[in-house]
Chain A
C-alpha cells in the first residue's frame, strides 16, 4: 500500500511517536495489583494499526523504534531486554495472523499480548535459568487475555473511525 519510501519513513516516525506516548500514558495509569510486570499494553495498539494499514515492514520498524526510545527514556536495561524480546515475538505472531479471514483485530491482539508474555518469559528464563518462573506466567497470561481483548477492541474502533471500512471495500486492505 505504500507508494514511496519517503512516505513510509514519515509514517514510521509518526507511529513511533504514538507508541512512545502510549508507553508514557501507561506509566501514568496506576495499574498495579501487587504483581510486577502487568501492563495495559496500549502500545500494541499502535503496532497493530501500523500492521493493518501499512504491513509488516513498517510495523517492524515502528515497534523497534518505539521500544528503543521509550526504554531509553523510562526503562532499565532489564526492562529493555524484556520489552524488545516480547515486542518482536508479539509482532511476528500478529504478522502471521492478521491476514487470515477468520481472525479479527481482537484475536490478533490477544495473540500479540500472549506472545509478548512468552517473549518475556524466555528472557526471564535466560537471565534466571529457573523453570519455576512458569508459575508466575499463569497470572501474566490471564492478564494478557483481558488486556489483549481491551486493546483489540480499541484498535478495531480506531480502524473503523479512520475509515478503514471504505478502504476495505476498494479491496486494498486486509479485513479487520
Chain B
C-alpha cells in the first residue's frame, strides 16, 4: 500500500492552448507569431526543464493539456519550418545586439544571455527535439513526468453551444485528436475556460473520461456543498471526478499585483527591443507592414510601479535567484495549506493548481525556472507534499463526495461574461444556426462517401474552427478583434457554402474548389461526430 504524504498532495495542471492559426497563403503571417512566441518562451523551455530534471534524476509530476488545435500546429511541418526561420532571425538579431552592446546600453550581460539562449533554443529545436514537439511530449509522458490531457476539439466553450450534439462533437474531436497525437485514450479533459454547465459531465462520461477541472466556486458551490471544500475532488452526477481550482496558489502566481510575476526583479513584458531600438535598425526584423511590435528581446525588469521609460535594467542572475526563492516560498505555502486541510479521518488533501501554460515563460519569463526549482524542492520533501497527476491522486485517494458542480468558468467573475457580452453576443446566433444545420446534415447523411463525405467533413471542420472560444475572447479584450471576427465570419461563410453544395446535389459538389477541401487541421476528422 502506498504511503500518503504527511501533509498532502500537490497537483499542477498546465493548460497549453492557441487557436488554430495557419496561413500558407501569406508568408510571414502576423498572427502566427502567437505560436512562435509561445514556442520560444514557454513550450520549449518547459520541455527543456523536463529534460534537465530527468537527467538529474529529479522526479517531476504534472498534468499538461495540449489543446487539439495547438497539437495540430505543433505537428505541422510548414509552421515548424517557419518557426525555425524565426529562430534564425532572432539568433541573428541577438548576435547583432551582443556585438554592439556596451556595459550601459544595452546591458552587455543581458545581450549575451539572449545570444546564448536563442542559439541554444535553435539547437534544441533541431537536435534535441528533431522539430517534433509532440514526440518530446510523448517522451516526457513515457518517462512518467507528465500526464497529458485533452480539451474540446477547437477549445469551444461548451455551455455556449446550442445543443448536446454540438457539444458532443467538440468532446469527441478532443478525444480523437489525443488518440492520434499520443496513441492512447485520454483520461482527463480540460474543459475550455473551465466552463461547466449541468450535465456536460455526461458527455465526458460517454467518452470514458475520468475527470475534469472547474474553478473553485464550481466545487465550493456544488449541491450538496462538499464537506471538504477544495481539498478533494467531487464525484459528479455522471460519475466522474471534478477537481476544484485552488484559489490561494492561483493568486500567488496569477496576480500581476500580489503574485510572484510582479516582483521588481523579474523581466518586464512590455518593454521590448521592437519598440526601443532605432527604427532603421529594427525594421528588418519587423513584419512587412513595418509596424513596431515585440520581438522578444527585453532588457528591463519590472522595477516597481514606474513608467515604462523608468524601468531599470534586467539582471538575469538576480531574476533566476528570485525564482528559486519564490519556488521555495510556493512550496512552503502549499505544505502549510495541505496541513491546514488535513484531517485524520479523510483522505490526504490535494491542492490543485491550474494555470495557462503560457503564463510560465511567455507572460512570466522566469516561470519555467520557478517550476524547475519547485520540483527540485518538492523532490526533497516528497514525504510531506507529494506532486501527483490527477489520475494518480484518484488512484491513491478515491473521491467519495457526490455533488453536482455549480455552473462556472475560470473567467472574470467566474461566469460566461467574458465569452458572452455586448462585444461578442452577436456571434452566438450565427454559430448556433450553423450547428443546427450541421446536425441536420449529419443526420441526413449517415453513410456519406466520396465527394459528399469530403464536403461534409470540411463543413464540420469549418464549423469547429468557428466555435473556438478564442474569437469571442479576443473581441471582448479587443486585442486583435479584426482578425478574430474575420476568422469567425470566414469559417461560417465557408461552412454555409459547403452545406449549400450538399443540399444542391452532385453537380454542386463537383464544383467545390478543391482548395477549399484541405483537410487541415484534423485530417482524420469524420463529420459524424455531429451525428
- Bound pair (A, B): no
B residues apposed to A, CB below 8 Å? none
